[in-house]
Amino acid sequence: MPWDDILGHQQAIDRFRTSIQGGRLASTFLFVGKPGIGKATFAKKLAQALLCETNDEHLLDPCGHCPACQQATALSHPDLILISKPAEKTYIPVETFIGDREHRMREGMCYDISLKPFRGGRKVAIIDDADFLNQEGANCLLKTLEEPPPKSIIILIGSSEQRQLPTIRSRSQIVRFHPLDDSTVAMLLEKHRLLGDEFTGNYQDVASAGEGSLQQAIALASEEMRDFRAQLLSELSNPRRHNVELAKNVIAFVEEAGKDAQPRRARLRSVVGLANDFYRQLMRRMTALPVNGDSLMVKSVELAANSWQGDAERVGDCIERCMQTIGMIQANANVTLVIECWFDDLWLIEYGRIAETVNH
């Protein structure tokens, strides 16, 4: 079946089928959810279904064999536009949307999607890494989002609504993608040998630590990352933790990623992501919901809940502070200062010393 390789997101498939069969397919969507759960894969399969020249698009089932389907699979279809942040950049360059200075509005995504479809069907633009849209890039998109060309679909992919600018959120239909279940992550890890042929551990254990994210599971498969995660969770759940020492340890771990800024910042984003997962699970515990994750996460959250000084609202403030920290990393703030201020603020929030921290 065409959608068999899209696992864990049947609800989203049904939503799009219902919309297109009812003639209510919107022009702009914002896909949000944890990294590594298949949002981009889903977007590309949706594009293939909309561009298929054999099956009626109302079926939303690409045949997989026609030239359009094959080109969509190869990401070479002339009506499929793919945007992502270059590895060496902090944000998606504005030129990606409107062309360079010599070709303003004669090149770029906004120009390309305004043209009639080459093959007579639709035009589909997928903007991966929408978390890395800055104000200038978002402003360039506004006119296209406000007055979308006929038969065009724009899909933005990000980690959460809060990471997107209000101008983007207000003009998009939000599609939330839930984490994958552990058995699905374990199956994908093993089936596609994503941990390498030399891996001899337990796929289920790695999947549980990934908390529904294939990307996180792969990252935590290394012994170095697993050891660091265990240390971080132990410290975050300890009411007597020493923030100065914790910050030093995190700084050292980040610096071990290499001399270049990009891998260091990528590792720091992973660290903040681990802490964010901890506080999200703590929020579940504080609101009488089951804690998801492996035994280490469950134990750490239980320890934290028994000694937590505040209420669930303060846990939410810690989550917000983690999101702010990721924004600072993207803005190229000094890594050492970011880490030190982040841990200080988490402690102050927990103990109610600065209720206004998250509003800074």
Per-residue pLDDT band at 342 (split at 50, 70, 90): very high
Q: Which two tokens stand for residue 299?
A: 């134990």
pLDDT-derived band at 219 (thresholds 50, 70, 90) equals: confident
Residue range 317-340, pLDDT digits in tens: 999 999 899 889 988 899 999 999
- When pLDDT is cut at 50, 70 and 90, the band that residue 353 belongs to is low
Res 354: pLDDT: 54
Q: How high is the mean pLDDT of the chain?
A: 91
Q: Which residue has the tokens 């929020």?
A: 283
% residues pLDDT > 90 (the chain): 66
Average pLDDT in the 120-129 region? 92
Q: What is the pLDDT of residue 240?
A: 87
The answer to whether 322 and 275 are in contact (CB under 8 A) is yes
**Residues whose CB falls within 8 Å of the CB of residue 184, separated by 6 or more in sequence, listed in order:** 7, 8
Name the token pair of 200.
């001899």
Q: What is the pLDDT of residues 270-307, one digit of tens each?
A: 999 999 999 999 999 999 999 988 899 999 999 999 99
What percent of the chain has a predicted confidence (pLDDT) above 70? 98
Q: Of 3.30.70.260, 3.50.30.30, 3.40.50.300, 1.10.4160.10, which CATH number belongs to 10-176? A: 3.40.50.300
Residue 327 pLDDT: 85
Domain range list for the chain: 10-176, 180-221, 223-359
How many CB atoms are located within 10 Å of the residue 141 CB?
A: 25
Cα 223 from Cα 211, distance rounded (Å): 17
